[in-house]
Amino acid sequence: MMGSRIPPLARKEFKHILRDPRSLWIIFMLPNVMMFLFGYAIDLDLKDVRLGVCDLSRTPQSRELVAAIDASSYFSVVARCENPEETERLFERRVIRAGVIIPRDFARELERERRATVGIVIDGSDANSASIVQNYLEAFIATHSAGAGGAGEGRAAAGAQGAGAAPLIAARPVVFYNRTLDSTNFIVPGLVAIVMMMLGALLTSVTIAREKETGTMEQILVSPIRPFEVIAGKTLPYLVLAFSIAMMIVAVGHFWFKVPFTGSAAALMLYCLLYLFTALALGILISTLVSTQQVAMMLSLMLTLLPTIMLSGFIFPIASIPRVLQLVSLVLPATHFLVIIRGVMLKGSTLPDLWMHGAALVGIGLILMILAVKRFSLKLGAKGGRA
């Protein structure tokens, strides 16, 4: 008889879930909508950025550079100007997003000093993509000039290891794991983490608040139930629900967004469960603090979405955020899960590789759960304080 109150509570909760098909539909559709919305919207890659070129040099070398830029998939030259002022007008009319100005003495300098300067004009009104355009253009021109220089001299050498071109070689980053630098592979696993955190916290935070709101909590409380039983009985059904949603969106990520899945599915599932455990624990903790569904919903969205997006390394690398916030990111479950899911999906990390992050999730989840159990009072009216 002891401890047997968890199954009936869980069973009842399942019935609530299944008998509300509309909510169930939303619960399943919302993550998909988010996946598609953000999966396509957050595209950090550049494709066919419209360029204006002002070639003042008019030499074979400069024409070669322009042709090379145009041939790349990142840029397409849509306008050729006679003088630099013309590019300005094209900016204002939003015809181009960046301009390349090749100075008069480009070819001469390239011959004489084996290096040349090219002017780049960028529309800074969209700072984020501006810096991406800048990096791409710089990198592109650097590699191109290296290639051109190298070609001029290295033809005779015919050696693959021609070290003579050294002064022209620009730093070329070597990219691992995500060889095409396709941001989808980076973003989609992150989205899975965010959607799971948000949904997990939302689902459980609402469930206890709902019973407080309708008054059924009062009836549950007069029974000899223990806080642990209420919380376990409330969490289990949502763990099952959230887990199936997690599997669904991982599948969407893999099959639709073509994110590779190189690691073991079993490892990911186990870590998914741990991660969901933290999310549900957070939701339960929230619901012990508030008394209406509305507030529970607001609070769980606020506590999950923003910190997870900003501080977990979803978009901004943790190394680039202020030191104090780095500490915050350390206690965010998503920070650890991001390492895990990216590791398992992209790198093929195995279960033991990630044990530290798994342990962190277990720790965070347990602390949240213990807080929730402690905070969950078998007395009414948490606001009245404990006498």
**Distance between CA 34 and CA 344 in Å, rounded?**
22
Q: Closest separation between CB of residue 386 and other proteins, Å?
A: 8
Ranges of H-type helices in 173-292: 183-214, 216-221, 227-251, 265-289
Applying CB under 8 A, which part among 11-19, 110-118, 139-147, 194-202 lies near other proteins?
Answer: 11-19
HEC string of 59-122 equals CHHHHHHHHHHHHCCCEEEEEECCCHHHHHHHHHCCCCCEEEEECCCHHHHHHHHCCCCCEEEE
Choice from 225, 240, 298, 367 touching other proteins (CB under 8 A): 225
Contact between 19 and other proteins (CB under 8 A)? Answer: yes
Residue with tokens 């002891």: 2
User: Least Å distance between CB 238 and other proteins?
Assistant: 16
Residue 60 as a binder of other proteins (CB under 8 A): the answer is no
DSSP state letter for 170:
P
Residue 215 binds other proteins, judged by CB under 8 A: yes
Does the footprint of other proteins cover residue 125 (CB under 8 A)? no
Residue that has been written with the tokens 């501080």 in this structure = 311
The interface region with other proteins, picked from 2-10, 32-40, 246-254, 282-290 by CB under 8 A, is 2-10
- 47 belongs to the binding site for other proteins (CB under 8 A): no
* Sole window of 174-182, 214-222, 304-312, 354-362 interacting with other proteins (rule: CB under 8 A): 214-222
Site string for other proteins, 169-208 (x = CB under 8 A): ----------------------------------------
Report which DSSP code applies to 178.
S
Nearest residue to 330 (alpha-carbon basis) of 350, 301, 359: 359
Chain residues binding other proteins by CB under 8 A are: 1, 4-5, 7-9, 12, 15-16, 19-20, 214-216, 218-225, 378-381, 384, 387
